[in-house]
Amino acid sequence: MPPRQPALIEGEMLEPAPGMQPPLAVETPSGARPLVPPRPARGGGAGIVGWLRLNLFGSVGNTALTLLVLGFLALILPPFIRWAVTDATIGGTARSACTGDGACWTFIRMRLPTFFYGHYPFSEWWRVDLAAVLLGVFSAPVMRDRTRHRGLWLVLLLTLFPLLAGILLAGGLPGLPPVDTNLWGGLMLDIIIAFVTVAGSLPLGILLALGRRSQLPIVRLLAVGFIELWRGVPLLTVLFMSAVLVPLFLPNGVSVDRLIRALIALVLFNAAYMAETVRGGLQGVAAGQEEAAYSVGLRWWQVQLFVVLPQALRYVVPGLVNNIVDLFKDTTLVTIVGLFDLLGAVSQALKDPAWLGFAKEGYVFSMLVFFVCCFAMSSYGRRFEKRLRRHHSG
Amino acid sequence: MVRRPSPRAYAGQWLLLLAAAAVAWYIVSNAGDNLARRNMSFGFGFLWDVSNFDIPFRLVPWSEADTYGRALLVSFLNTIAVAACGIVAATLLGLFIGIMRLSANWLVRNIALSFVEFIRNTPQLIQIVFWYFAVLQTLPSPRQSIVLPAGMLLNIRGAYLPNAVMTPHGGLLSGLALLALAATPFLWRVRVGARRVGANALFLPVLALALFAAGVDHIDWPTLKGFNIRGGTQVPPEFVALWLGLSIYAAAFIAEIVRGSIEAISKGQSEAAQALGLKTGQRLFLIILPQALRIMVPQLTSQYLNIIKSSTLGAVVAYPEVMQIFAGTVMNQAGKEIETIIIVMAIFLAINLLTSAFMNWYNRRVALVER
């Protein structure tokens, strides 16, 4: 008898015991029986029931998890909905309108203008609205998927638009009475601060990123020192510096508007973060691109401006959008140094003796406003990222 | 190197240095003028002056007769305390949410997604003031304290935790317990012959727990006496609000880091582990997470540094950390604007640089050795 092979031999393993049928004998066309009996595909099949089975009740553990989560939701959602919707009040004009146990949205409704315009005079609101429309007009071509001359539009958005909006908002021309920045406030101030910060810190950040990759030792050292200094300290200390120290650093008698001081601090601080994002993109550009550009005789700045940066900046748009979302959220910190942004407006409204005790409504509302703005921006960033990936693979 | 910069560029960089130096000199000379005009001087001697203010929350003894220097120590420890608690909580919550994000269960996955999206897209400062003014300040008075599990109480004056009172030998025993805990990671790597001691090292934390328990005389439960809570340890609402704000915000970011790192691990790893018959939990904790950790470490570092830096936001709820005490109280009292801001910035810069250095070292250790 030849030695038995240790390996598994099909026929032997599946040989049914005499007089017994294998549990699931399926005849394949060739006549050989498969090793493992076939099973239906995982997943519950088509339709809602199938989806439910696949996603919620796939196994015992999964079903238990689903029930646990449903129980948790049943615990927290109804009280929340009762507070925010069912028992809430939105009508009326005074505190006395809010008698129920739910939220008092009347408070928010009455204060809405301050939350959006700050103390900007009512007769001049149209200037803020017009500036907002202009922002939309200038940024739409930059954001759209297919745009000719996107770079040109970007430059216009960062130069012409701030000029127009600045003249509109600050005034001082015939027909446009000046409005002091002390009166600017609410969400409008958050958006202004965020826009100016982006417009200032993006170019500075690009310069810093180029400096950090420079072969000139002193340039590199200065760039690294600048970037690491701002990235190492909390934003709040930087804002305090702008509020308390900048007046000390300027010659006697020279004073700078509080808003402008905060803006300078925010630009310097965020430039360091933008620089790190841009540096990531610069590293992603293949070295051959630069070599080729030099070999056709371009100078350093031409290579960077026409060859490296256009490619690098495309890669880092999602990262830059993240930076912008972060700095937009950080604009709320200016309320600590005495500027009157949305959070400042809400906090001040909460101190009004006529409307005490609506902290929950006030902060939930401001969170929602920020959520809408930031979520829209993050979604745009994600969409852009997907598009990049598609272009890359396709 | 693509191309050497021209000699002109090398010369030009000195101009840049000159410009930077000129700006620095301009600032320093202006500051000097302004200080002289106000009859003020620059110097850190004020740190030895008596402070005359109270710090409501502290980990080490403090009295109003102590110096500004000691105030720095007290507030620094407060910063470290809230940041450390925040880092631990954010890591655990972030890991949990990150794993939820990858669940096969649609409901679990999407609840985690909504949490992450909502928290990440709202300002941290509003979250902190929300916790403080909208939640903790609306809690009931001590008489109607909310009873939490494990004997904890929650009311408008903060959270009350049970406190372990130690016997006279308690200090020594808990010292030994700490030693045992600290030795655990080292024992983990010890080899006996060809075998690692590995899991046997886990007896050390158990020993530490036993040692600590042996040192406990009795547990001081917080209880209502009259109009206030007696016993236990009071954690002020400022701490709780800041801690919640720091850890929940960072947890949302950490969850995304965890998810991203796990997704970056090749699917084959998970399938191979499944083929070997490992269960879901084993697959996650023995195969996937140890590998994902390598990708996570640098990103986690920057999140931890963010938590430390964001602890300055405690200033809005008057939590006595470095920013609030130094750039607030001390600056107003001693009038040393430049010095106090320099001190606060230097502290955070130092923490940042040290943490980065440590994490880089750790990162090199866990990094894949490439041949």
Alpha-carbon distance values, B367 to B259, B298, B370 (Å) = 19, 11, 9
In the predicted model, residues of chain A with pLDDT beneath 50 are 1-17, 19-20, 25, 394
Report pLDDT digits (tens) over A334-377.
Answer: 998 888 899 999 999 999 888 888 889 999 999 999 999 999 99
Q: What is the pLDDT of residue A8?
A: 43
CB contact under 8 A, A216 and B10: yes
Spacing of C-alpha A324 from chain mean position: 6
Burial profile A229-240: b = 16 or more Cβ within 10 angstroms, e = fewer: bbbbbbbbbbbb
Measure A67 CA to nearest chain B CA, in Å. Answer: 10
Which residues in chain A have Cβ-Cβ distances shorter than 8 Å to B20?
222
Architecture category of domain A105-120+179-393 in CATH? Orthogonal Bundle (1.10)
Alpha-carbon separation of residue B29 from A371, B25, B35 (angstroms): 45, 6, 10
- Joined together, the tokens standing for residue B249 give 């915000």
Q: B277: which residues sit within 8 A by CB, 6+ positions away?
A: none
CB contact under 8 A, B107 and A222: no
Tokens standing for B217? 């005389």
**pTM for this one?**
0.86
CA distance B230 to chain A (A): 29
List the domain boundaries for chain A. 59-88, 105-120+179-393
**Number of helices (H), then strands (E), in chain B:** 13, 10
Q: Which residue has the tokens 């009508």?
A: A91
The type of residue at A255 is S
Candidates B110, B88, B106; CA nearest to B97 is B110
Is A92 in contact with A106 (CB distance < 8 Å)?
yes
Q: Tell me the sheet residues that pair with B229.
A: B224
Q: What confidence tens digit (pLDDT) does each residue in A316-337 have?
A: 988 999 999 999 999 999 998 8
Q: What pLDDT is stored for residue A296 in this prediction?
A: 93
Closest partner CB to A252 (pick from B2, B37, B127): B37
Is the Cβ of B17 closer than 8 Å to some Cβ of chain A?
A: yes
Q: How far apart are CA B256 and CA B254, in angstroms?
A: 5
Letter string b/e over residues A264-299, b meaning 16 or more CB atoms within 10 A of that residue's CB:
bbbbbbbbbbbbbbbbebbeebeeeebeebbeeebe
As a whole number of angstroms, the distance between CA A193 and CA A100 comes to 38
Cβ-Cβ pairs closer than 8 A, A with B, add up to 168
Q: Which of residues 227-246 of B touch A (CB under 8 A)?
A: none
pLDDT value, residue A42: 59
* Integer Cα distance of B68 and B335 in angstroms: 12
Both tokens assigned to A112: 């809405």
- Both structure tokens of B240: 């709780």
CA angle A209, A210, A211 (to 5 degrees): 90
Q: Give me B322's structure tokens.
A: 């470095």
Cβ within 8 Å of residue B224, ≥6 positions away: B142, B143, B145, B230
Give the Å distances, CA to CA, from A73 to A68, A79, A101.
9, 10, 21
Low-confidence ranges of chain B (pLDDT < 50): 371
Q: How far apart are CA B314 and CA B56, in angstroms?
A: 14
CB contact under 8 A, A374 and B121: yes
Mutate to test the interface with B, among A49, A307, A329, A382 (most CBs of B within 10 A): A329
- How far is CA A128 from each of CA A159, A193, A200, A371, rounded to the nearest angstrom? 18, 14, 21, 22
Round to whole Å and give the CA distance between A275 and A227: 8
Give first-to-last CA distance, chain B, whole Å.
Answer: 24
Name the one residue in this structure whose structure tokens are 């009512």. A122
Which 8-state DSSP code applies to residue A296? T
How is residue A147 annotated by DSSP? -
Q: Is B120 on the interface with A (CB under 8 A)?
A: yes
Distances (CA, A) of B118 to A183, A216, A367: 31, 44, 9
Q: Give the SS3 label for residue B192.
A: strand
Contact state of A249 with B134 under an 8 Å Cβ cutoff? no
Q: Min CA distance, B105 vs chain A (Å)?
A: 5
Q: Which residue of A has its CA nearest to B322?
A: A237
**Phi, psi angles (nearest 5°) of residue B164:** -90, 120
In this predicted structure, what is the pLDDT of residue B227? 74
How many angstroms separate the CA atoms of A124 and B154, rounded? 49
As beta bridge partners, residue B148 has B152
Taking the Cβ of residue B114 and every Cβ of chain A, the question of whether any pair is shorter than 8 Å is answered with no
Full set of structural domains in chain B with CATH? 68-140+235-366 (1.10.3720.10)
Q: Are B252 and B120 in contact (CB under 8 A)?
A: yes
Structure tokens at A281: 């993109």
- Cross-chain Cβ contact A370/B30 below 8 Å: no
pLDDT at A12: 44
The C-alpha angle B109, B115, B120, rounded to 5 degrees, equals 125
Q: Is B106 on the interface with A (CB under 8 A)?
A: yes
